[in-house]
Structure 1
């Protein structure tokens, strides 16, 4: 009865002191802000809530839904005295969502973990943020994102993993949004490369290609990290693309792009300027050979004619030596030669 004679604020403070002396509250209840808010409450003069021990000290008709980014705290009378879960006497009594958790709706009993690829790095968050390009998060409830390590990249936000650099590309720093193609004269022989290596002598790579290539036939390159090969010069030959051109011998031909010197046939030909000419011995042999060939042809023709005449003689012999019966026909001996009499 004595309490009714004092000011309402003092009476409310008296009742809250009785509750605190009988109930252990969480730090959220005993904070200065909550105490100030609690002492400012208007206590009903006649009807008080007595559903739970100590709840009569609070005006539960003022219970409010926990705001987004927080959850209901059932361990404090400032919240458990309210009729519905998710409501508290003062919003400060609600528990803020921890790092990696969020709650977009008011009056909820629990916070939600951020999905993979998302994060929140502060408490009381109503939403999760996507991991920016160049980073990833493969865990739920993440409070941060991990930058892609050198040799890998992530070109999109909310990534759950980083992609290794493909052959011919590289990334030499963390957090790459994409991998870069190796410059001309360099290559990356393995995936997830952090740097490029120069092309070896005898090889080259233009900027638009992926891997170093061996110089073509008749070309050479003796330096490291070159984009192009050089053609083997005239009067030189290049047996290997990774050595200097070799001087052509005086008795050989070496046009531009030669792999090896070209020689004339030393016995029958000899070099004369840019061509090969017949040697004297070759000319003599050709003349002798031509004469022998002509003589053989003449002998073959004569022999052929002789054989033909012999065959005719043999064919006529039976006709000339045949015997005819003796007699006369029309006054002419049968064995006489016929005589053309004419008409």
Structure 2
């Protein structure tokens, strides 16, 4: 029996975890439709995470995937933060923002013992990681719950490393994918490949199920990924405009306009490359800038600026995460989207 059949999935479709544009509502709908719903946990407090998992437990549904970042948290460089505020100063002045209102607490926490304790209580079927895997002692705490461990790879070398360090399935994240790049062995973006180039190479290199992610927004994409050896697909951007997503009106409007067709990798919003729709900040500072503090410390200085701009109806300072292909975004219930994909892919 395959890993995904063993999980009880009717369809080999995983909803990508997308912080800031979803909560448990999307997860419950996707899992209820026979796919694997995913909850992003890196930006949740322990209390918020426990509350979301309690909702899952009360639903009687399953399985669920809980996703964590496992970056190595470092202290912010005060000089870098000051320089970043100085770079943003003209925008602060334009929107009447007080620079002292910036947030200094890191916006994203790496997987830790507190997270592990919550997982031990709720025992989700899948736990996935971005930026590699946690240290062995932490990973052991996940494994002992019985959860299957999925992890993102952006190169063949990363897939092989994950296979040798405890992953049960590899997410092959192509360059088209929205949100943060999952690279962890090498920061050279020139090594990054498109999904349908990367996927067959990883399938050939590891003896684990491989999940295709990036640029897949419809049944034809699902069918193509499965034909190239994927055991399942992970889809995120295609859910951004569905009814259960919490995507803001400004973000939805950008996706549905011609602007949504222009994305780029940027480090301005977090300090680490992530794909989003090009907006004013990215155009004027350049999408990749040495001025941005290291991950995840760049975001704090943007918090008050983003809030002020959005209040004025301006998304020029908001992270509009999206993949290169927004053509599958529809204003429909998630279950309706899944039903259409399943039919088109010939999975029904």
- The answer to whether TM tops 0.5 is no
TM bracket, shorter-chain basis? under 0.3
Between the two structures, name the one with larger relative contact order (CA 8 Å, sep ≥ 6): 2
Larger radius of gyration: 1
